[in-house]
Each structure stands twice: as C-alpha cells, then as structure tokens.
C-alpha cells in the first residue's frame, strides 16, 4: 500500500513523540499514589491508591537533614527518596537523593538505567564526571565542584563522585524517574550471583584469571 506523502510528516512526528515519551509516563490525573494492596500482580510502575483515601503523608518525607553513615568500604552513603519513600511520586517521573562523603570517600562508578541526574554540592569539594558511550569514543567529562556548583549526568552514562577535600562533603541530586535504579559497575561485574565465568572477565578486562577470582571473592561478599 502506497503511503500518502502528506502523511509522512505526521508519521515522523508520531515517531518522535514515541521517543519523547519513552520514560516515566505523564500523570493522567492529579496524582496516582502508589499502593501495595494487590499481591501477585505486577505492573510497569505501581498501582494507584483511591484518590479519596490520599492525604498529605503520601507526599511527605522527613530526614534528609540527617547525615548518612559513611563508615563503609567506599566512604559514602546515599539516602534515597523515591516512590518507595514517597508514594505520591508514582507517575511523577522525579526522585531525590542525599549523598554524604567522608574525606576521600567516593560514590563509585555507576549508572542509572532509567533516569538522568542533576547534582548540587552544598558542602565540601567533589571531583565528578561521566564517560560517554563507545559511539562517542568514551570521552570523560569531569569537573571539580565547590559549594553551589551543579553538574548533570545524562541517563545511562557511567558516572562517579569523589571527595577530594579534607572535610566531609554533602550533595543533593534530583533524578528524572520515580525509581531511576542504580548499577554499581564493580559490584555488578564482579559480584553477580551466580558469578560470571572468570575466564570471560579475564579476557574482557585483560587480567589474569586469578585476579578476577580475587575480585569476585571481594565483591561477592559485599
């Protein structure tokens, strides 16, 4: 069937809009507060609470003023405020985190599969950056941030932050998803369950298989 030339612009627009709407869906009503009453059924997102039962606590969270415990292997702590903490974020396409860093602590290389991130530093000094895709030749985009500085990490890009100062650092970040997800590279590659074949990783990372097994033992216990 021949497609009318006059319809081609509309088809292009429709295709463009399909990509524009490829992330969290826009609300179809004033709000859609998440509810867990239904068991054994899964949806892309969360079920909605009856609007007549919604109240202010469904849109509220308290505690981002409290520093996170950075006494761990990486010297940082992420306090997440997403749809699990604020059910009213369901369908809103946004969430928030507080990140605390001990001196020389880091938020190690990771990626958010479902959201971009915009970070503002409020205390301390951070070295932050992300690496672009293979198609862009894996370029590093990095800056040293001071209080009041803002940096953006595009969706899906591997990124990191490290405290390069002598005092604790604190940052807040917004994400363009109610549940952006996080994939920490080292934990995922070397700490998977069950483990990835050491020989595969040895060749991929150009390491001896014994080194890979040592890394798997380390990250598998985290």
Pairing of β 140-145 and β 126-131: antiparallel
Residues making up the binding site for Mn(2+): 110, 112, 117, 159
Neighbours of 3 (CB within 10 A): 8
Give the C-alpha separation, 167 to 173, whole Å.
Answer: 20
Give the C-alpha separation, 90 to 36, whole Å.
Answer: 12
Is residue 174 within 8 Å of residue 108, measured between CB atoms?
no
Is there a cis peptide before residue 194, judged by omega within 30 degrees of 0?
A: yes
- What 3-state DSSP class applies to 19? helix
Residues making up the binding site: 107, 110, 112, 117, 159
Give the C-alpha separation, 161 to 126, whole Å.
Answer: 6
Give the C-alpha separation, 36 to 34, whole Å.
Answer: 7
- The DSSP symbol for 126 reads E
- The DSSP symbol for 56 reads G
Q: CA distances (Å), 98 to each of 58, 63, 124, in order? A: 20, 10, 14
Residues making up the binding site for oxalate: 107, 112, 117
Is residue 178 within 8 Å of residue 45, measured between CB atoms?
yes
């Amino acid at each position: 069937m021949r497609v009318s030339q006059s319809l081609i612009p509309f088809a292009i627009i429709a295709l463009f809009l399909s990509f524009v709407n490829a992330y969290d869906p826009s609300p179809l009503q004033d709000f859609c507060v998440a509810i867990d009453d239904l068991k054994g059924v899964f949806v892309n997102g969360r079920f909605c609470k009856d609007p007549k039962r919604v109240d202010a606590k469904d849109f509220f969270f308290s505690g981002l003023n409290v520093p996170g415990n950075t006494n761990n292997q990486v010297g940082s702590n992420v306090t997440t405020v997403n749809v699990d903490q604020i059910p009213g974020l369901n369908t809103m396409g946004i969430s928030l985190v507080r990140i605390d860093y001990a001196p020389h602590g880091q938020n190690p290389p990771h990626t958010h599969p479902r959201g971009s991130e915009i970070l503002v530093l409020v205390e301390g000094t951070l070295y932050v950056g992300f690496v672009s895709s293979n198609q862009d030749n894996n370029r590093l985009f990095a800056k040293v941030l001071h209080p009041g500085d803002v940096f953006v990490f595009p969706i899906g890009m591997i990124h990191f932050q490290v405290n390069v100062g002598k005092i604790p650092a604190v940052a807040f970040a917004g994400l363009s998803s109610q549940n952006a997800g996080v994939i920490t590279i080292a934990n995922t590659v070397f700490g998977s369950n069950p483990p990835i074949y050491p020989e595969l990783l040895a060749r991929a990372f150009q390491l001896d298989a014994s080194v890979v097994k040592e890394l798997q033992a380390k990250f598998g216990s985290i």
